[in-house]
């Protein structure tokens, strides 16, 4: 019953059904399909293999597609990779002629209209840095700030300027439509700068998938409350954040974003370079193990592997190590104290009152598990928001909701028959606990749901099932349909 979930990216190193099954057995809860790489046929094949593995293992697996977002790049050069020197002048312009050691084509008019003197242009993930001296709609004159080489089609970012570029490019829209046709569970949006970017995506997605906003731009931090309100979850994309802002600022930003997301009960993922050395090494560094553990101590919902599982030499071992780090951290008595210190108090609504009551009951009675019955996923997310000491088993008739909940802290999601009465929910809960092999010996089971059933936001029922009643109900014919 590990609480913190693992997102594993699939790629060339993890594109067979046997490897995907090994990743799931090792501890992967959600699989990421990165649409910056691979064809639609590649992603369709991996999607089908995940669903085959899911059926064999008998438990839901989540699938997240990560859209590429708009990519800003310089043009081409007449000669290969000219060398630039600090203090020299360099021009980005609208001239489509091949570049040289003094200028290059920049095919993005949005940048020309947005930058001002003093802004920075970062090229090739910040390896080359330029400071704007002057700018108009045809030329950006800069001063080179780092020695190095610049080459064809390298990426460009402008940390200080807000660009009038939609978060969804035409490629993204095509990829999104394809991903939704497969039936994915989560969509990760790149280049989010404001809530309107999420709202635009929501209009295309509807209720077919949940939305994770990737926070990788400083401008997103200025609008984070509205972005979070419009999203279903957040991803702390530390790699891009570390390019667009000083690396020493990223840890504080990470903690701030995790706390904000936890306060709303929306899943938050910490991503990028978590076990980066395992791309080529069979074990992580001590610093990487500490990095993963820090995120777990902060109570994040999920930690993510990128190249480690997608293109690395040890994809299964990377998941195994991440799972072991999480297990060890969650077993530390300090873990719960730190999570509580960085969490938020219950708010004045029925669902949080139920969650607080579950915490109080767990301190009074030995509780095997808290069972939530849900048709929308709202109840287990709100219960998980308070990070209860009891494990959370979520039941409901919709497989798509169970798959989305694979990203949520502490939630084991399973499908069940539909409930029509409180007695149905109690019977489902006992059957599910028995089916999943949870130890209920001399322990109570707590059940939370909403009446009337199927009404979002109506969590108002809390039932404590004592060991004697569990034993009696366990002899009845189960309603569960796992």
Active site residues: 32, 73, 214, 272
Query: Which strands form 120-123's sheet, in the order they lie side by side?
Result: 103-105, 89-93, 139-144, 128-135, 120-123, 156-157
**What does the alpha-carbon distance between residue 169 and residue 207 come to, in Å, rounded to a whole number?**
21
Order the strands of the 367-373 sheet from edge to edge. Answer: 411-415, 392-396, 367-373, 444-450, 459-465
| Backbone φ, ψ for residue 305 (5° rounding) | -105, 135
- Greatest alpha-carbon pair distance for the chain in Å reads 82
Nearest to 388 by CA among 408, 415, 413: 408
Distance CA 211, CA 161 (A): 25
User: Distance between CA atoms of 309 and 317, rounded to whole angstroms?
Assistant: 9
Residue 434 contacts residue 368 (beta carbons within 8 Å)? no
Long-range Cβ contact pairs of 49-55 (< 8 A, separation 24 or more): 49/16, 49/17, 49/20, 50/20, 52/17, 53/17, 53/20, 53/21, 53/24, 54/24
Q: What angle, rounded to 10 degrees, do the helices at 422-435 and 467-474 form?
A: 80
């Amino acid at each position: 019953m590990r609480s913190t979930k693992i997102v594993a990216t699939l790629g060339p190193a993890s594109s067979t059904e046997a490897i995907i099954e090994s990743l799931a057995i090792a501890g992967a809860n959600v699989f990421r399909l990165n649409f910056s790489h691979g064809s639609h046929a590649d992603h369709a094949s991996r999607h089908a293999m995940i669903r085959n593995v899911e059926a064999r293992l008998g438990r839901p697996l989540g699938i997240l597609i990560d859209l590429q977002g708009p990519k800003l790049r310089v043009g081409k050069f007449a000669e290969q990779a000219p060398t630039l020197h600090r203090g020299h002048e360099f021009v980005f312009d609208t001239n489509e002629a091949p570049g040289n050691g003094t200028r290059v084509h920049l095919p993005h008019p949005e940048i020309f209209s947005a930058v001002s003197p003093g802004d920075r242009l970062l090229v090739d993930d910040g390896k080359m840095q330029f400071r704007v001296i002057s700018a108009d709609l045809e030329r950006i004159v800069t001063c080179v700030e780092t020695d190095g080489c610049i080459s064809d089609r390298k990426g460009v970012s402008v940390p200080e300027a807000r660009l009038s570029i939609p978060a969804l490019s035409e490629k993204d829209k095509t990829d999104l439509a394809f991903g939704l046709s497969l039936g994915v569970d989560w969509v990760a949006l790149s280049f989010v700068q404001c809530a309107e970017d999420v709202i635009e995506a929501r209009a295309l997605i509807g209720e077919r998938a949940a939305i994770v906003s990737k926070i990788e731009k400083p401008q997103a931090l200025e609008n984070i409350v509205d972005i979070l309100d419009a999203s279903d979850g957040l991803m702390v994309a530390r790699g891009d954040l570390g390019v667009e802002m000083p690396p020493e600022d990223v840890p504080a930003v990470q903690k701030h974003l995790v706390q904000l997301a936890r306060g709303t009960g929306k899943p938050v993922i910490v991503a990028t370079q978590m076990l980066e050395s395992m791309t080529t090494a069979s074990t992580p560094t001590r610093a990487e193990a500490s990095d993963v553990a820090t995120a777990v101590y902060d109570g994040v919902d999920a930690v993510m592997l990128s190249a480690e599982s997608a293109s690395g030499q040890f994809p299964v071992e990377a998941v195994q190590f991440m799972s072991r780090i999480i297990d060890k951290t969650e077993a530390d008595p300090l873990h719960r104290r730190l999570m509580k210190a960085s969490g938020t108090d219950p708010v004045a609504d029925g669902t949080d009152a139920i969650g607080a009551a579950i915490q109080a009951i767990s301190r009074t009675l030995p509780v095997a598990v808290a069972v939530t019955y849900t048709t929308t996923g709202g109840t287990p997310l709100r219960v998980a928001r308070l990070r209860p000491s009891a494990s959370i088993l979520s039941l409901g008739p919709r497989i798509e909701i169970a798959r989305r909940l694979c990203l949520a802290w502490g939630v084991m999601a399973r499908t069940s028959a539909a409930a029509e009465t409180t007695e149905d929910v109690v019977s489902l809960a006992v059957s599910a606990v028995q089916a999943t092999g949870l130890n209920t010996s001399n322990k109570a089971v707590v059940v939370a749901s909403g009446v009337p059933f199927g009404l979002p936001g109506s969590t108002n029922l809390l039932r404590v099932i004592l060991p004697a009643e569990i034993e009696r109900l366990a002899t009845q014919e189960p309603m569960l349909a796992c």
